[in-house]
Amino acid sequence: MKTNTNVPLVNFRRVSVPTPWWVVVFVVTPVLLWRLARLLVWVTVFAVKHLRALIVLVAVWWAWHRYGWLPLVLVATVAAGLVGVWWWRHPRSCERFALFPLLSAWRRLWVYPRQWDEAMTLCGLVKTYDGGRKLPHLGKVRCTYATDEVTLRMPRGQNPDLYHKAALGRGTGRVWCGWCSSAAIR
């Protein structure tokens, strides 16, 4: 007896269940309204929390919309020139108030997040619990001439001695590593 080999072993079909109108009105609509209200609260909190950045972005968008891209490029060029003159005349204050904060923001947003998971895993600071991986949360980054001071938040239940024993500085390519508790971030 010959069997047909073209038939799939499992037959997946979409089950179509008609939804009554009252389910849509009394169940789906309140759920969607609740999610919309939560989204509006989140957007409001985010806007209040990052008010300066939002004002700058709105001003840049308005200037670009009103005048085009050329004035924005000119303003950015003049600002870069002023920072260059500042660095030429007073390098220590320029590095302290302009260059190191910019470098810290760059490393906080781009450099550390790309290698954070791997570095924490290699240092032995990633723990598994309830099917998920718990690793320290990256906090503030402060750059100096020789080191980066990274503030992080430990997951609950980890011992600070683990951070002393772990070679965090070696894991991220930096020379020095310090730690702090989660209370220092709040």
Phi, psi angles (nearest 5°) of residue 181? -85, 170
Residue ranges in 50-178 assigned as alpha helix (H): 51-67, 70-89, 91-94, 100-106, 112-122, 160-165, 168-171
- 34 assigned to some structural domain: no
List the domain range (segments joined by +) for residue 140: 92-186
Percent of the chain with pLDDT over 70: 81
- 171 assigned to some structural domain: yes
Q: Give the separation between CA 87 and CA 99, rounded to whole angstroms.
A: 9
pLDDT tens-digit map of 129-157:
888 888 888 889 999 888 888 888 888 87
Percent of the chain with pLDDT over 90: 43
Range with the poorest average pLDDT among 11-15, 97-101, 161-165? 11-15
Q: Give the separation between CA 32 and CA 41, rounded to whole angstroms.
A: 14
- 179 assigned to some structural domain: yes
**pLDDT-derived band at 2, boundaries 50, 70, 90:** low
- 38 assigned to some structural domain: no
